[in-house]
Structure 1
Amino acid sequence: MGGKLIVRIAELEIEPDQLETYRLLLTEAIEAAVALEPGVLSLSAVSIEGSPHKIRILEVYANQTAYEAHLQTPHFLKYKNATAGMVTSLTLIDVDPITMRGKL
């Protein structure tokens, strides 16, 4: 897939009483996206230590087309619709990668 990598950090805050359900839905959506979408190169979700309702997601897509396709998938739409009432804040930050390597 050609084009510029799309790398973004999503900063979310979740209703604390909905956190367990949110985390399950997020995990399901990430696992489906990485398994089913060739243009989804990496999705990593973490929470801020001491503030588990503050979620950060590092998203890496092969290009803009892959990102736009991701937004139309059944698993993303299920996640987005099911969590709409749980998310109290969402900020998307586009970033430029400097170096990205991993070994898990």
Structure 2
Amino acid sequence: MTMNTMELDGYTAVIRYNPETDEFRGEIQGLNGGADFYGRTPDELRREFRASLDFFLETCAKHGISPKKQASGKFVVRLSPTLHAQAVTAAQAAGISLNALVERAVHHELEAG
């Protein structure tokens, strides 16, 4: 199964292709609930993304719910002790905190993707 993303109006969906059913499935990320959609062609998938997103946003508005899940900015990262020690050393050598090093690494990875 391959994975890709599609964007619409500031929302991102992870797209997976299932060769067994010859169908794409999209799942909109970062929502206060779930919204997915299906299509056999990219054009059909785009149309279904629009329909699914519009329905989700209308439902949220109707019930007074914020559509996007809010991120706190905090998360726990588990590393091997060796990698943790290397990261601490690298942060100290750069004169920054370990949090700043991790933030820099995540930003770099997102830019590269």
Q: Which one scores higher on RCO, CA 8 angstroms, separation ≥ 6?
A: 1
**TM (normalized to structure 1)?**
0.26
Q: Which has the larger radius of gyration?
A: 2
- TM, length-normalised to structure 2: 0.24
Greater share of strand: 1
